[in-house]
């Protein structure tokens, strides 16, 4: 296959009541874990890169690695620009082949958010690339993007319907109580709000901040219409934890092929688990 946009993947998930997992990657190793595990489990998968990942690894490298994976395997694979705030950066990445993006203008007030998102949609759709946008505001930290708890804002269902209609986005990220990163207490998700959004909005809905959320809450959100589940922190912790453990036992280690391997193995277990939770295994 070639690299896909997320359009058909998410519509299939919406039709059949599961979610496609979107895993944030940072380099070749993390991309390999995500793709290899999805292939083993026959799950569609979205590889996501934030602006700082793209800056760190290079857009061409990330895109080329995803291309290799997509051509090598039969499962649907998309590479997605996650939490991009800069319209020009999105356009230049679409120009080099990215087929899916999130324009995050959630900090802006409603009309400005719509205008910025619409500009990206008009550009992306010319290249058959899909666009996700967020209405409301999630708390927590995603890379360099930090939103204080007091500034979080839940998605208003009526505004969501108008936002989707006027922007023409392909999927909507909703703020229903999740936050990026780890939680101080048990997260409380507003399922009534999710149901209402689902009843008013036709496009697939996206859950950000799915790390550290109890499995049953994520599964319930999927049963109520979430079609894409974003996971970053829950992958970083076991990867880095396994490396720390390896170095503590082998302080003399200097071979990346050796010290990266336990990190990959630890991350793989979590990717497997998240695919199970999403119900996306054996869909291809
Ligand atoms: P977590 O780091 O909380 O998993 O959030 C990931 C995310 O939403 C990426 O967009």
**pLDDT digits 0-9 by tens, 127-163:** 999 999 999 988 777 777 676 776 678 999 999 999 9
Whole-model pTM? Answer: 0.96
Report CA dihedral (71, 231, 56, 68) to the nearest 10 degrees: -10
| Residue 32, domain member (yes or no) | yes
Q: Which of 80, 104, 141, 211 has most ligand 1 atoms within 8 Å of its beta carbon, as the pocket-test mutant?
A: 211
Å from CA of 168 to ligand 1 middle:
24
Residue 16 annotated as catalytic: no
Of 43-52, 55-64, 133-142, 181-190, the least confident: 133-142
| Residue 55, domain member (yes or no) | yes
The Cα 229–Cα 213 span in angstroms is 11
CATH of the domain at 204: 3.20.20.70
Residue position matching structure tokens 């036709």: 202
**Domains: count for the chain:** 1
pLDDT in the model for residue 150: 64
pLDDT in the model for residue 140: 77
pLDDT in the model for residue 139: 75
| Ligand 1 atom nearest to 231, measured from its CA | 4
Binding residues for Zn(2+): 83, 104, 134, 180, 208
| Residue 283, domain member (yes or no) | no
Range of the domain at 50: 6-278
| Residue 1, domain member (yes or no) | no
pLDDT in the model for residue 151: 66
Q: How far is CA 192 from CA 156, 196, 202, 221, 278, in A?
A: 12, 6, 17, 10, 20
pLDDT band at 202; cut points 50, 70, 90: very high
Binding residues for dihydroxyacetone phosphate: 181, 209-211, 230-233
The 10s digit of each residue's pLDDT in 221-255 is: 999 999 999 999 999 999 999 999 999 999 999 99
The Cα 147–Cα 141 span in angstroms is 6
- In this prediction, residues 85-106 reach a mean pLDDT of 96
**Of 16, 74, 82, 170, which one is the catalytic site residue?**
82
pLDDT in the model for residue 11: 97
Q: Which of 5, 72, 82, 12 is nearest to 39 (CA)?
A: 72
pLDDT in the model for residue 141: 74
Q: Which of 20, 24, 46, 106 has most ligand 1 atoms within 8 Å of its beta carbon, as the pocket-test mutant?
A: 24
Of 22-31, 149-158, 196-205, 241-250, the least confident: 149-158
Cβ neighbours of residue 151 closer than 8 Å, sequence gap 6 or more = 137, 139
Answer for the pair 18, 280: CB distance below 8 angstroms, yes or no.
Answer: yes
Of 83-92, 144-153, 160-169, the least confident: 144-153
| Residue 284, domain member (yes or no) | no
Residue nearest to atom 9 of ligand 1 (CA): 230
Residue nearest to atom 5 of ligand 1 (CA): 209
The Cα 23–Cα 47 span in angstroms is 5
Å from CA of 216 to ligand 1 middle:
17
The Cα 264–Cα 31 span in angstroms is 10
User: Is the pLDDT confidence value at 120 over 80?
Assistant: yes
User: Is the pLDDT confidence value at 210 over 70?
Assistant: yes
Residue position matching structure tokens 């230049």: 92
Give the percent of the chain with pLDDT over 90: 90
- In this prediction, residues 84-108 reach a mean pLDDT of 96
Å from CA of 196 to ligand 1 middle:
23
Å from CA of 138 to ligand 1 middle:
10
């Amino acid at each position: 296959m070639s690299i896909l946009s997320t359009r058909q993947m998410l519509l299939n998930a919406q039709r059949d009541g599961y979610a496609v997992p979107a895993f944030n990657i940072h380099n070749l190793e993390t991309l390999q874990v995500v793709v290899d595990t999805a292939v083993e489990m026959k799950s569609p998968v979205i590889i996501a890169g934030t602006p700082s990942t793209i800056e760190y690894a290079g857009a061409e490298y990330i895109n080329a690695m995803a291309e290799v994976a997509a051509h090598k395997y039969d499962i649907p694979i998309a590479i997605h620009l996650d939490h991009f705030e800069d319209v020009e950066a999105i356009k230049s990445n679409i120009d080099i082949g990215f087929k899916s993006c999130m324009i995050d203008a959630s900090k802006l007030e409603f009309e400005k958010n719509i205008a910025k998102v619409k500009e990206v949609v008009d550009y992306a759709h010319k290249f058959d690339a899909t666009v996700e946008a967020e209405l409301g505001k999630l708390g927590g930290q995603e890379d360099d993007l930090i939103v204080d708890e007091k500034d979080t804002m839940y998605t208003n269902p009526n505004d969501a319907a108008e936002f989707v209609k006027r922007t023409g986005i392909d999927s909507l990220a909703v703020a229903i109580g999740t936050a990026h990163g780890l939680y101080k207490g048990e997260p409380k998700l507003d399922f009534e709000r999710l149901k209402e959004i689902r009843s008013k909005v036709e496009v697939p809905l996206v859950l950000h901040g799915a790390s550290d959320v109890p499995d049953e809450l994520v599964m319930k959100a999927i049963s109520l219409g979430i079609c894409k589940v974003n996971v970053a922190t829950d992958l970083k912790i076991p990867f880095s934890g396994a490396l720390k453990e390896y170095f503590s036992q082998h302080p003399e280690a200097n071979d990346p092929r050796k010290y990266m391997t336990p990190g990959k193995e630890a991350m793989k277990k979590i990717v497997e688990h998240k695919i199970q939770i999403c119900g996306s295994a054996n869909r291809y």
